[in-house]
Amino acid sequence: MSAAHFLSRAGWRVTVYDSGVVASGATGSADGAVSVASKKPGPLMTLAVAAVRFYEHLAETGVLVDEFISRSTFMIASQSDELDVLESQSAQLEAAGVPVRLLKGQSLAETVGAAAPSALAAVEVQGEGHAVGYRVVERLRRLGGFTIRRHCRIVGLRQSGGSVSGVVTEQGVEPADAVLLAAGLGSMDFLAGSGLIRPRKGQLIVTDRAGRDTPRFPGPLMSCRYLVSKGSHPAGKLPESRSLGLVVDPLRTGQFLIGGSREDRDDKDTADADTVASLLRDAVALSPSLARLRVIRVFAGVRAATRDGMPIVGRVGGADNVWVATGFEGDGICLGPLMGHLCQQMICGRPADQDISALGADRFGLKLADAA
Amino acid sequence: MSDREVLVIGGGPAGVAAALEMARGGLKVTLCEQGPRLGGAIHRQPDDPSRRVRVPKAQRQRWQALAEALAASPVTVLCRHMFAGVEGSGAVLLEDRASGRIVTRHPAALVLALGGVERATPVPGWQLPGVVTAGGLQMMMKSTGRAPDGDVLLAGSGPLLVAVAAQLTALGKAPVAVLERSTSAVSLRALAGLIRAPAYLWEAAGYLLPLTKAGIRLQRGASVRSIVPAGDRLSVTIVDTIGLEQRLVVDRVALHDGLLPNGNGTTPAPNGPFTVLAGDCREVLGGVAAIADGRLAGLAVLARLGQAAPDLAGAAATLRRERRTQSALNTLFDYSGSDAAHLPDDTVICRCEGRTLGQLRGMLAAGDRVSAREIKLNGRFGMGACQGRFCAEWVAAFVASQRDGQPPQVAEIVGSRWPVKPVPVSAFVDLPPSSPSE
């Protein structure tokens, strides 16, 4: 939807084809963190910094006004063996130009003490933000300028002479001068190769609104274990906690979002009590006041995870007018608008504002499937 | 007896009848009820046995028979156990409200006899404190044996309005007025249907005679147009058939527009046990039918689990008869509610999240055909604690009325996710991991 927005502003006539409805994939089930804090050091962290700045820019210029809230993320170490992870991630963030503040003793007590009384140390990662994925999509939809075709599955691409000349829908062939595959796991339906992207399920919990007796949360609290679960930090001595990474996020509505899991499976319609109970146990251990709230909803979503943990954004081999943007795993909400913008620049033949060569489809030799 | 446990959720007539049928058939049955006592909505038992609301004799006898049979049966009864849903791996989740913990069960079959959902259609001001449902008011009276304080206005449509009015009157607290939206006269067809089930006529007479004697105003063709606060009371604008408006100041407004089957958390879960719905939860046919339907649900489970099952042709015949009676009865009422076209934009539709009709209209205004999922996510209709139980039907109907045909499915707005009702975070903390996965 971001690419559609920017392409339509660049003068293209754009149609978004969705096999279901918009925001029905991971976008509709995401936590909304626009955050650098948990990113893997390297190109992904650099791009995330630029992505947060881009959100700020979109909010300032009115595109995403009211949909992006600036705030800090708080990485919390509550066991002594998590202190190393905290320090190392904090140093990496600082190196990437992210303002961080180490909280210990008095400053720790004042900032996160009420919300997480057992924290040993914390790092405040400043200049982060929150944007609800489906609301961003809704804003872009309302701004309009492009057509949305819901429940319109693309069954193939019409190819001729090294280019794609149209998309094949169940209703017939529709001409196209350029195609961007941004269908998450479904993008691979059009590309040769298998096992490149796998589903990674996540489960999230929503509570009811906190009462006045709930202490103030300064921002989302991210347990250092989350970094281990996400694979953005070497596990070191920490036990692999079955890929549950705790983030307790105070929402604008007064509710809390508690997540999440990373599981190599794709049953996105089910949440299981075992995972939910484990997350809630960890959440209450970190923030005992949460025990007074009620769970109103639990849900799951499936992320598209690549083999090397990096998104795939760039031109696809086998045709000169097909691009792909997929494999964002849990970072799609953060990176989405920037990547939409960069895709527009690539499709328009202009140099991209950011170096995304590390995300290129060529690193896997990705080509259009013959049958596409 | 088979050692495979079957679970029945809901201690009303359908649940008890199902439990008895399955216990007779040799199954090990556990009956769970969220409240402190069995009885369901219709046979709600009082907190203090000496303070009891008067109910029709036939109704009382039906429950007495069920309760006695249950006491003599091997059925295990768990009160204060709320059904929280079937989770992803197929386990049934129960919130044990005494211990404050979630407990899991893996039954061979599950009978859901959760009862119907009371409907109230939106009117401006229905979200105000002091506005309740007539069914909710009746539950409160059955539990406490007391009428509420202050002046009560009953409005909407359906036989429950007169029943509640009669119960209020019997407790010495006659309602200020009873407004029945319907103007339909008793047709010959309806009368024929009702005469075949004289118990309903007796029941109606039992309610109406005391009301007439007490001089209660029963106004047909009248409905509530809006409710606004008036000090610590409620000022209610009433409109009659010819459009004349009148104002009443009361302390409480009890609304009711019939009952709906319960679609919340009743869809069979992917990995869950064999599931059967019973009673008003499946089809709103009332208390007599609920017993027959519960027995039939028990029969379906027995058959599924390969147990010998009795012939229940009588129960099936009861169900058919009650269906005819209910459909005759329904012609006397008008559950349509206010015409949405005339409702102002600030009418609250989703009371959990405070979402208004204006916001819903705004979402539909654009040329682009937004889906039910988008209406839910971005409009937040159905995103509250009730997961759309009380607004989804109305939202779907309104969206359909704005678009020729192609209504969204209520199921796209109502949550099918557990927990079916909010569960304390603390209840999960003690849940032992089902399998070591670390």
Helix, strand, coil shares of chain A, percent, nearest 5, are 30, 30, 40
Question: Has residue A15 been placed in a domain?
Answer: yes
Domain boundaries, chain B: 6-115+262-329, 118-258, 348-414
B89 contacts A273? CB cut-off 8 A: yes
| Three-state DSSP state, A120 | coil
Q: What gap in Å lies between CA B72 and CA B302, rounded to an integer?
A: 20
Chain-chain contact of A280 with B93 (C-beta, under 8 angstroms):
no
User: Mean pLDDT throughout A19-43?
Assistant: 86
Q: Is A299 on the interface with B (CB under 8 A)?
A: yes
Give the number of domains in chain A.
2
Residue A12 included in any domain: yes
Q: Mean pLDDT across the stretch A334-347? A: 96
The answer to whether B179 and B156 are in contact (CB under 8 A) is: yes
Q: Are A368 and A318 contacting, i.e. CB atoms less than 8 angstroms apart?
A: yes
Backbone angles phi, psi at A150, to 5 degrees: -80, 155
From CA B362, how far away is CA B9, in angstroms rounded?
Answer: 40
> Which residues are within 8 A (CB) of B99 and not within 5 positions of it... i.e. 6 or more apart?
none
- Write out residues 52-81 of A within 8 Å (CB-CB) of B: none
Displacement of CA B354 from its chain's centroid (Å):
22
| The predicted structure's pLDDT at residue A143 | 93
Q: What is the pTM of this model?
A: 0.90
Residue from A27, A243, A297, A299 to probe the interface with B (highest B Cβ count within 10 Å): A297
A285 shares its domain with A320 = no
- Distance (Å) from the alpha carbon of B75 to chain A's nearest alpha carbon: 27
Structure confidence at residue A99 (pLDDT): 94
Residue A7 lies in a domain: yes
Together in a domain, A139 and A123: no
With CA atoms as reference, report the closest residue to B159 among B329, B336, B390. B329
Distance from CA of B438 to the nearest CA of A (A): 5
Q: How far apart are CA A340 and CA A43, in angstroms?
A: 17
The count of CB pairs under 8 A between chains A and B is 119
Question: Which of A23, A269, A291 is closest, CB to CB, to B377?
Answer: A23
The mean pLDDT value for B180-186 works out to: 84
Q: Do residues A44 and A123 both lie within one domain?
A: yes
CATH domain B118-258 topology? FAD/NAD(P)-binding domain (3.50.50)
Residue A122: what pLDDT? 95
**CA B358 → CA B68, B234, B281, B364, B365, distances in Å?**
53, 23, 32, 10, 10
Is residue B436 very low, low, confident or very high in pLDDT (cuts 50, 70, 90)? very low
Residue B286's Cα: distance from chain center in Å?
11
Domain enclosing residue A279, as ranges: 33-130+198-306
B294 touches B15 (CB < 8 A): yes
H/E stretch holding B256 reads: strand B252-257
DSSP β-ladder status, A121-130 and A100-103: antiparallel
Q: How much is the pLDDT for B186? A: 67
Alpha carbons within 13 angstroms on the beta-carbon side of residue A276 total 30
- Rounded Cα distance, B112 and B32, in Å: 10
| Residue A116 belongs to some domain of the structure | yes
Structural domain contains residue A189: no
The answer to whether residue A240 neighbours chain B at the CB level (below 8 Å) is: yes
| Residue A204 located in a structural domain | yes
Cβ–Cβ gap A28/B373 under 8 Å:
yes
A108 and A212 inside one domain: yes
**Residue of chain A nearest B437, judged by CA positions:** A242
Alpha carbon of A233: minimum distance to chain B alpha carbons (Å): 19
User: What is the Cα–Cα distance from A149 to B229, expressed in whole angstroms?
Assistant: 46
In a domain, A192, yes or no: no
pLDDT at A293 over 50: yes
> Does the fold of domain B118-258 match that of domain B6-115+262-329?
yes
Query: Which ipTM value was assigned to this complex?
Result: 0.89
Residue contact B428–A280, C-beta within 8 A: yes
SS3 label, residue B180 = strand
Contacts of A22 in chain B (CB under 8 A): 371, 374
**Is residue A123 over pLDDT 90?**
yes
CATH of the domain at A111: 3.30.9.10
Report the residue of A16, A280, A299 to disrupt the B interface, i.e. the one with the largest count of B CBs within 10 Å.
A280
Answer whether B367 touches A (CB < 8 Å). no
Residue of B364, B355, B354, B353 lying closest to B397 (CA atoms): B364
> pLDDT tens digit string along B130-145?
999 999 999 999 999 9
Q: What is the pLDDT, as a whole number, of residue A270? A: 85
A residues 120-159 closer than 8 Å to B (CB): 134-135, 138, 141-142, 144, 148, 150
Average pLDDT over residues A245-274: 89
Residue A130 near residue A68, CB atoms below 8 Å:
yes
| Chain B residues near residue A284 by CB distance under 8 angstroms | 425-426, 429
| B376 contact residues in A (CB cutoff 8 A) | none
Instruction: Tell whether the model's pLDDT for residue B361 goes beyond 50.
Output: yes
User: Best residue in A16, A264, A296 to probe B by mutation, most B CBs within 10 Å?
Assistant: A296
Instruction: Note the pLDDT tens digit of each residue in B202-248.
Output: 788 788 888 888 888 789 999 999 999 999 999 999 999 888 999 99
> What type of residue is B217?
R
- Range of A34-38, A124-128, B51-55 with top mean pLDDT: A124-128
Averaged pLDDT of chain B: 89
Based on the domain organization, do A243 and A158 belong to the same domain? no
Contacts of A299 in chain B (CB under 8 A): 417
**CB atoms B417 and A273 under 8 Å:** no
Instruction: Looking at the structure, tell me whether residues A168 and A285 fall in a common domain.
Output: no
- Which of A291, A306, A321 marks a domain boundary? A306
Q: How far apart are CA A270 and CA B342, in angstroms?
A: 41
The shortest CB-CB distance from A271 to any of B87, B378, B433 is to B87
Six token digits for residue A148: 């949305």
pLDDT-based confidence at residue A157 (cuts at 50, 70, 90): very high
Domain end point (choices A283, A306, A329) = A306
Give the residue on B whose Cα is nearest the Cα of A296: B422
Per the domain annotation, does A41 fall within a domain?
yes
Q: How close is the nearest chain B Cα to the Cα of A208, in Å?
A: 7
User: Does the domain at residues B6-115+262-329 carry the CATH identifier 3.50.50.60?
Assistant: yes
Same domain, A118 and A250: yes
Q: Please say if the pLDDT value at position A343 is more than 60.
A: yes
Query: Does residue A341 share a domain with residue A230?
Result: no
- Mark whether A212 and A285 lie in a shared domain: yes
Task: Choose the closest CB to A295 out of B88, B419, B435.
Answer: B419
Note whether A296 and A237 are same-domain residues. yes
Other Cβ atoms within 10 Å of A110 Cβ, number = 11
Could you give the C-alpha distances from B416 to A16, A58, A339, B86, in angstroms and in order?
Answer: 29, 35, 34, 10
Q: Are residues A142 and A103 in the same domain?
A: no
